Structure 1
């Protein structure tokens, strides 16, 4: 009987031990296939399958075994220890393993080495390590994208001299740009929760062939995390909990996501809450950046009071919540159904650059209040994917989406009782049908169609802050106006030779605008705007490997931007003493770009990259002086203001150079650097030239990184060059209050640098901690065109737990 008992116990433990283990990526928790597992003398071996699963029953429980994969660091452990850790083995990717597959160029997976355009990829490992505060900071952390901020709740990317509505934002394949995206700085990117982002791809240069209007200077694609199906036969539950604190603005951020999946269904739920306090600037820098006084309302009047700590930027804090729900259904290996919902909402948040604007006398402040109302964004989309050999395609993806945007602007002048408010909303519908075809020898075809409809809601009001009496006021846009586009495209990838790939594409887009103007408050000399424009864009490029370690890329492309409701129908105060009025007589603007790239790989240890580009912009939509009913000045919100309007009044050219370096000195130690130099000029119709407004200064970074199985550390420097007064755009010279002053008393943007350190330590396979110290030398600086001063010395602590 005793022998039988021992045998049963032995068989029980043997059966438990013989269960499959799963090999996973330490950062993404994605399964890793083709991992070789072997003992000391390689007399026993095993291999993980496509789901990362492997049976270790061939090994003894206490036997030392090795896990090896070409893209990952070697891992050594024992089967017994793996069982104690829940049957999972986590492997860390090698530093040399660069991203090889991208989706942004054709909306389908392509080898990055075959793409002629420059693409920056930020994967989930980098995102987790950088631990960004917002998705704007996520982009900036790449070292390749410049970000401007007018307030703490902001972040307006600049790419190759373009920004705002000349760059396109996309989330999970859905266009985020809407008909009221403006030429001024935008903060819509902060609606995207960085905790939900799986990877980000940034296309440099026009992407209009695939993405249509607005994709003139670049495209920023955010791909969010996917629900994970069960890797076992029963229901599987997993999730993550994160916390982040930063000292510069007393940030407290909490995040929780939960994944539930079986073999055919999977659900991912995510919640993130951010609480940001007032931002503290650095100690060493221009005194003009200090917040010496601010406005408070006491006993029925506005008073200018001294700030007890001029380095604290009052008021800048705000709160934000982000929600995400994804459901995926996979009935078989050919079909996939995805339903996704994203929601983001901020509290009210101050536009800081308007609150520091001086009054006409220069001894007080112009505004007592200037704040954005809650910024709301809802995205719901259904995506259907089909794989397999169809008659006209090998892959089909249908994406339908509904989006809702809401924002408002609220301002009150010093000692004025009227608080003026404009509130805007956009209802956006879209449908994309994209095909992938691989049937014609060495030629791959990608083609599709797109339809987008935006309907605008806009209202204006003013409220007496003492009596609370509300009355009507002019709206920002024509209420009920619509913007819609219909387009079709085709692109081809041709493998001319094993070392030469050609890519080409063409797209036709048609855009309609319908807007009726309300003449209650302003006697517009027109009743409506009905624009009907078509645009043909194309691209041609090559990726060539003349030698095994050399890559040469060239790309020529055109981009366009059709006027939107913001261009055609806006009325607002653009700067002190100026008001922008509608202009229904607009045409699309076009960009023509060529770029040349060179990359050299030195024995897989050092990779040097360089690119140069030139863009020529014609019929540029710019803000210029205008006559309204023959008048150069009108009254707006009680103030006599100069009249301006958006016009096809300029040409422009932008050119620049981009450099990159990745050096893997050892398996643990590596270097990385980026440097971007951009120049740009706007040519007026009258023959005069002026510097481009959205041309960033020279900027770059340099990183020294060290990592092993548990610890990763990065010591790095960020740098921005100077923009002297003579190189400031004319519109920027009028904003003296956000710039430093040179020896001649003129505004300019000084150069600056910061020394920074960040680290991540994996306490266990489920618990990790991050510790960062930004701006160690406590510099006081503002990035170019920003109204808010950047954080001073900033301690950032983060904790992440996976279950």
Structure 2
């Protein structure tokens, strides 16, 4: 009896110990970037006397392996991994594998909004994964795009970054976060900095589509689409609550950056939460030592005892003022009641401090004796997005996958400017409320044919106010707004996109979309006698694509794609009043139509035994009814007084055609398991054709640019020594609108503005100190070059030391 009593007492302990032992024998294999489980990984010791395979959840039993065994993990798409039993236990029974860089079976989502093999897609797509982002350590998401070597980025100020893709920029590119477009009714043709609202610490993958993407993304997708996919909450694989996360700190010397980041994931079997927070503080940016003297900031305007004075800059290499700070927050929830159904809720918030538009602060005064502006700065840029998404797999009569997305976004931006010795500070404040509804479906039930289809509804409302403040008395009066207050922009669309595998090595993709756009804006004639009362626009657009991906041999790929894109006029096009450049003012024009792009591209990729991959692409895009800024009349006048200056009248018009063509080359060489090389080169030419038959260079066609990388990598350390290069843009090759901005350009031998060529040598590295601790050390612009990228107002950083530390728990 006593024996039975003791057994009853210790049975719970035996049960708990057994559970712990069972748990301790299960190891989970995860993707290092996405943190998703990896099935079908072979696990064995060198003698292959013990072999296991990971299941659907990425788990395997390693109870048969001894403490002294060296455990090897092998998968076709991942780097070989060698670990010990002790290392596995120290890492909480998790093993992380890294995807092979030379893989051709990479999965992408951007072309159809569903997972597709990259090799089956005829479009050129560039992916930047979380591992690459961590090594590059970009300050902003604009820097992240630039670090790819395939996207050109313009900056008017430190708090900015306007991507250019294949000769198009700003409102001719689509910016998307987790499948929701950020483009709104006031995205302008001038440079945009909305991309900096996306926190690079939260990005798990970025996919860039080159060329028109209007079939899936509608208006604005002429030059390309930039999709940012942020991190997802991670469910527990072990039936108990799991808490994980990481913290990061980064410092850079060129602008005395201090950045902190923290995120926490709480995972249970059916639900998970991910919380992320980042704070950046940037001081004034310092340029390099070797370059044009005209780039130096020798003086700036300062208000002393109520009087504006021009004062010398103690350090002409310091660009005063350029500093700002930024806060980012993200909260996500995932609920998965079963393997076929997901509910996702994502909340994003970003806010900057006010920051100066540097290129406006270096404009010379009208008499050429000083500087024109005392102040020209943006107020805090704010972005909020609430995004709910339902994902359902299988068992639908008409679909195998369904995504229903409902998102609300709120944007705030403002501009403040005051001229030298002027007592009036002018301000315009804008906000946009945007509602997006998307239904996307996937059907794979038709044998060799896959169908993707869906619909989209977008509704934007614009709020806009203007004011003048007397800086001495602080009296504030109402002034003209930048846009018609209360204007609305709506879009309704439906699309079909099909993929047909004619042969195992020949895949055809084709798509069709119809979009309809409405604009309703009422003009206030309090400050200007408009010759019209409202803008009531209704326009439709039909776009399509047809392309193929062909493998004549297993290691040789040819892609071809023909597509059309469009951009419908928005509120910025029809209703803006803005001092566009010295001596010119833009006025509203309600009589606009959509512009269309016709694109052809050919791509080739050759893989030499997974040791050398060569890539090449050529493209040609023709733009008709282009929405461009041209001379105009307002109430019959070609000039009006604006801001105390007699200015030429201009407006956005369907007044030009344009064509852009270019070549893109890429090389990846895998010399050994540790050493690799890569290089990219992009050549773009763009011409605008006026109605009178004259030609001029396109503004957003960047100079020739490229990079060359030498990388060395082991399990603990990754290094990258690389060169960045930009070609020259001569005066003859400058767009007419750029030639008038001679204050941001160097002077050639004739005294005319031009953009010189430049190069930088750079080094970056990442070292894994322990399983949960890593450090990054980078040195950019080693030779301390003083250069300004094409069309940029701010001069690039000089020698820049970047230090980072990250801790994973």
For the criterion TM > 0.5, the same-fold answer is yes
- Structure 1 residue 751, shift from structure 2 partner: 0.3
**2:102–2:613: 8 Å Cα contact kept in structure 1?**
no
SS of the equivalent of 1:704 reads strand
TM-score (norm 2): 0.97
1:624 aligns with 2:630: yes
Out of 241, 252, 255, the residue aligned to residue 246 of structure 1 is 252
Give the distance between the partners of 1:278 and 1:144, measured in 2 at CA.
28
- Structure 1 residue 231, shift from structure 2 partner: 1.3
Structure-2 change in CA distance of 1:56 and 1:651 (3 Å): same
- 1:657-736 to 2 correspondences below 5 Å: 657-736=663-742
**1:410–1:419: 8 Å Cα contact kept in structure 2?**
yes
Out of 254, 257, 262, the residue aligned to residue 256 of structure 1 is 262
SS of the equivalent of 1:331 reads strand
- Structure 1 residue 14, shift from structure 2 partner: 9.4
Structure-2 change in CA distance of 1:98 and 1:191 (3 Å): farther
- Structure 1 residue 21, shift from structure 2 partner: 1.9
Give the distance between the partners of 1:416 and 1:270, measured in 2 at CA.
44
Give the distance between the partners of 2:472 and 2:75, measured in 1 at CA.
70
Give the distance between the partners of 1:14 and 1:468, measured in 2 at CA.
70
Give the distance between the partners of 2:277 and 2:14, measured in 1 at CA.
47
- Structure 1 residue 546, shift from structure 2 partner: 1.3
Out of 450, 468, 473, the residue aligned to residue 456 of structure 2 is 450
Structure-2 change in CA distance of 1:726 and 1:58 (3 Å): same
SS of the equivalent of 2:553 reads coil
Out of 106, 114, 123, the residue aligned to residue 112 of structure 2 is 106
SS of the equivalent of 2:131 reads helix
- Structure 1 residue 524, shift from structure 2 partner: 0.5
Out of 127, 150, 160, the residue aligned to residue 166 of structure 2 is 160
- Structure 1 residue 17, shift from structure 2 partner: 8.3
Indicate the residue corresponding to 2:290 in structure 1: 284
- Structure 1 residue 639, shift from structure 2 partner: 2.0
Indicate the residue corresponding to 1:70 in structure 2: 76
- Structure 1 runs of 4+ aligned residues shifted over 4 Å read 11-14
Give the distance between the partners of 1:71 and 1:547, measured in 2 at CA.
20
1:375 aligns with 2:381: yes
Out of 119, 130, 136, the residue aligned to residue 130 of structure 1 is 136
**1:208–1:558: 8 Å Cα contact kept in structure 2?**
yes
1:31 aligns with 2:31: no
Out of 647, 656, 664, the residue aligned to residue 650 of structure 1 is 656
Out of 190, 198, 204, the residue aligned to residue 204 of structure 2 is 198
Aligned residues: 800
- Structure 1 residue 18, shift from structure 2 partner: 4.9
- Structure 1 residue 694, shift from structure 2 partner: 0.4
- 1:256-405 to 2 correspondences below 5 Å: 256-405=262-411
- Structure 1 residue 48, shift from structure 2 partner: 1.8
Give the distance between the partners of 1:398 and 1:339, measured in 2 at CA.
12
**1:26–1:91: 8 Å Cα contact kept in structure 2?**
yes
SS of the equivalent of 1:215 reads coil
Structure-2 change in CA distance of 1:98 and 1:294 (3 Å): farther
**1:317–1:349: 8 Å Cα contact kept in structure 2?**
yes
- Structure 1 residue 272, shift from structure 2 partner: 0.4
- 1:776-795 to 2 correspondences below 5 Å: 776-795=782-801
Out of 445, 465, 468, the residue aligned to residue 462 of structure 1 is 468
Give the distance between the partners of 1:534 and 1:507, measured in 2 at CA.
11
Give the distance between the partners of 1:779 and 1:441, measured in 2 at CA.
58
SS of the equivalent of 1:178 reads coil
Indicate the residue corresponding to 1:523 in structure 2: 529
Indicate the residue corresponding to 1:20 in structure 2: 26
**1:771–1:796: 8 Å Cα contact kept in structure 2?**
yes
- Structure 1 residue 28, shift from structure 2 partner: 4.4
What is the root-mean-square deviation of aligned Cα atoms in Å? 1.7
Give the distance between the partners of 2:398 and 2:104, measured in 1 at CA.
34
- Structure 1 residue 8, shift from structure 2 partner: 8.8
Q: 1:703-734, CA deviations, whole angstroms, 9 ceiling, x for partnerless residues?
A: 00010101100000000000000010000000
1:771 aligns with 2:772: no
**2:176–2:227: 8 Å Cα contact kept in structure 1?**
yes
Give the distance between the partners of 1:546 and 1:691, measured in 2 at CA.
39
Give the distance between the partners of 1:398 and 1:432, measured in 2 at CA.
6
Give the distance between the partners of 2:202 and 2:808, measured in 1 at CA.
14
- Structure 1 residue 73, shift from structure 2 partner: 3.3
Give the distance between the partners of 1:679 and 1:92, measured in 2 at CA.
38
SS of the equivalent of 2:216 reads helix
**1:92–1:709: 8 Å Cα contact kept in structure 2?**
no
Give the distance between the partners of 1:801 and 1:594, measured in 2 at CA.
47
Give the distance between the partners of 1:496 and 1:518, measured in 2 at CA.
58
- Structure 1 residue 67, shift from structure 2 partner: 2.5
**1:699–1:720: 8 Å Cα contact kept in structure 2?**
yes
Q: 1:230-259, CA deviations, whole angstroms, 9 ceiling, x for partnerless residues?
A: 011111110010111100000001000110
Indicate the residue corresponding to 2:121 in structure 1: 115
Give the distance between the partners of 1:326 and 1:612, measured in 2 at CA.
40
1:637 aligns with 2:643: yes
Give the distance between the partners of 1:711 and 1:794, measured in 2 at CA.
21
- Structure 1 residue 632, shift from structure 2 partner: 1.2
1:504 aligns with 2:504: no
1:91 aligns with 2:93: no
**1:90–1:765: 8 Å Cα contact kept in structure 2?**
no
Q: 1:502-558, CA deviations, whole angstroms, 9 ceiling, x for partnerless residues?
A: 000100000000000000000010000001001000000011111222111110000
- Structure 1 residue 361, shift from structure 2 partner: 1.3
Give the distance between the partners of 2:529 and 2:635, measured in 1 at CA.
8
Residues 424-433 or 81-90, more deviating: 81-90
Unaligned 5+ runs, structure 1:
none
SS of the equivalent of 2:368 reads coil
SS of the equivalent of 1:288 reads helix
**1:36–1:67: 8 Å Cα contact kept in structure 2?**
yes
**1:94–1:667: 8 Å Cα contact kept in structure 2?**
no
Q: 1:594-623, CA deviations, whole angstroms, 9 ceiling, x for partnerless residues?
A: 001111111111110111000100000000
Q: 1:262-292, CA deviations, whole angstroms, 9 ceiling, x for partnerless residues?
A: 0110110000000000000000000010000
1:800 aligns with 2:802: no
Give the distance between the partners of 2:783 and 2:579, measured in 1 at CA.
38
1:435 aligns with 2:424: no
Give the distance between the partners of 2:191 and 2:90, measured in 1 at CA.
53
Indicate the residue corresponding to 2:52 in structure 1: 46
**2:104–2:119: 8 Å Cα contact kept in structure 1?**
no
Give the distance between the partners of 1:34 and 1:394, measured in 2 at CA.
24
**2:104–2:118: 8 Å Cα contact kept in structure 1?**
no
Unaligned 5+ runs, structure 2:
none
Give the distance between the partners of 1:501 and 1:385, measured in 2 at CA.
27
SS of the equivalent of 1:566 reads helix
Structure-2 change in CA distance of 1:441 and 1:522 (3 Å): same
**1:545–1:551: 8 Å Cα contact kept in structure 2?**
yes
**2:24–2:93: 8 Å Cα contact kept in structure 1?**
no
Structure-2 change in CA distance of 1:17 and 1:373 (3 Å): closer
Structure-2 change in CA distance of 1:50 and 1:303 (3 Å): same
Give the distance between the partners of 1:291 and 1:99, measured in 2 at CA.
50
TM-score (norm 1): 0.98
Indicate the residue corresponding to 2:544 in structure 1: 538
**1:95–1:667: 8 Å Cα contact kept in structure 2?**
no
